[in-house]
Amino acid sequence: MHVGFVVYGDLETTTGGFLYDRKLVGHLRNGGDTVSVVSLPWRAYPRALADNLDPRIRRRLRGFDLLLEDELCHPSLVGHNAAVDAPVVAVVHHLWASEEWPAWRERLYRAVERRYLERLDGAVYVSEATRRDAERLAGERPSIVARPAGDRFEADLGDDADRVDDLLADDAIAARADRDPFRIVFVGSLVPRKGLHFLLDGLARVSGEWQLSVVGPESDAEYARRVRERASRLGIADAVRFEGRLLDATLAERLAESHLLAVPSTYEGYGIVYLEGMGFGLPPLATTAGGATELVTHAKDGFLVPPGDPEAIARAVETLLTDRDRLREMSLAARRRYERHPGWSESMETVRRFLHAIAREEMPAEAVA
């Protein structure tokens, strides 16, 4: 089967959504399918809508047995898809309409996204939360839930894999709980949705010694400047280290030396980073908004706090900082939860079977992986 896969920008972009897309492309190719990546330029939303008037884009969407699209590209494709001569399936990480926007933008995004979803022949959702959001907006269609995996460190580090195995051993995770200072790691793009500003507000309320490592690209330069200033204004700048993007081997070491992964996003379709952290025995601090609720059991293997609630963040951090026996128990529980989760191969094979069924015009049964 010849699959066209439409993405914005470079498929090698280092975010969870692009990691998912790369894993899917690799699995399809390993299974014998031909995959041609159709890269569209990143646009501001109004400019992306204008892409629907561009006949060159329409021509690039033709000639495939199945067209697979990252739903992030929906404003550039909403008008083109009606003319595509093959089934169209979207990989839906999370909806624009699920985020908080000014009222006029929310109305626009909901209208465009609804029209895009209604024209799909099928959808691959990364979580049940994302599927519910999409079906509330635009009704049902053939779909599956194929959750991301968190095993890329073990799978992708090659010669460093033995080192990672040592870091993941139960005795290493248990021993870490007694070390000081209490280390917190934030992993994600520096954009408002990831909630770093709320994390800083919460940490400023925490008594006791702690350190925060902020790992991720400064995707929004103005926001990155504001959170640095916020740390200074709150009097915690000496305890916060902005590290930028790290190589996987360095990131693995950072996760292994930390006690808590804190990414209190205002919305997260799923959040691969939470699962990756749990693989290192890190209880995640996530929010109740989105797919993290399908992964984290509150107060057992992590914490689920309301979005935008610094007081709840502070309470969660203090719970583990002051009670190292509780920290050890939750760290090992996080590792056990990770071990029960399907790996990339299993999850992506579920998607491959679904896509082949759509291409054969069969109505696949709903599946979850």
β-bridge mates for residue 48, sequence order: none
Q: Mean pLDDT score of the chain, rounded to an integer? A: 93
Give the per-residue pLDDT at 159: 55
- Which CATH number is associated with domain 2-149+343-359? 3.40.50.2000
* Sheet order of strands, 66-70 included: 34-40, 2-8, 66-70, 88-92, 122-125, 143-145
- What's the pLDDT band for 365 if we cut at 50, 70, 90? low
For residue 137, pLDDT beyond 60: yes
Which helix (H) or strand (E) segment holds residue 7: the answer is strand 2-8
Distances from the Cα of 312 to the Cα of 100, 207, 309, angstroms: 20, 14, 6
The secondary structure of residue 299, as a DSSP letter, is T
Instruction: Say which CATH topology domain 152-340 has.
Output: Rossmann fold (3.40.50)
Give this prediction's pTM: 0.85
Where do we find the tokens 């080192």?
163
**15-56 confidence digits (pLDDT tens):** 778 999 999 999 999 999 999 999 999 999 999 999 999 999
Say which amino acid occupies 105: R
**153-178 confidence digits (pLDDT tens):** 765 555 555 666 677 789 999 999 99
Distances from the Cα of 131 to the Cα of 92, 141, 215, 290, 356, angstroms: 8, 10, 29, 11, 20
For residue 276, pLDDT beyond 60: yes
**211-231 confidence digits (pLDDT tens):** 999 999 998 999 999 999 999
**227-249 confidence digits (pLDDT tens):** 999 999 999 999 999 999 999 88
Q: Where in the chain is the domain with CATH 3.40.50.2000?
A: 2-149+343-359, 152-340
For 159-198, give the DSSP string: GGHHHHHHHHSHHHHHHHTT-SSEEEEEES-SSGGG-HHH
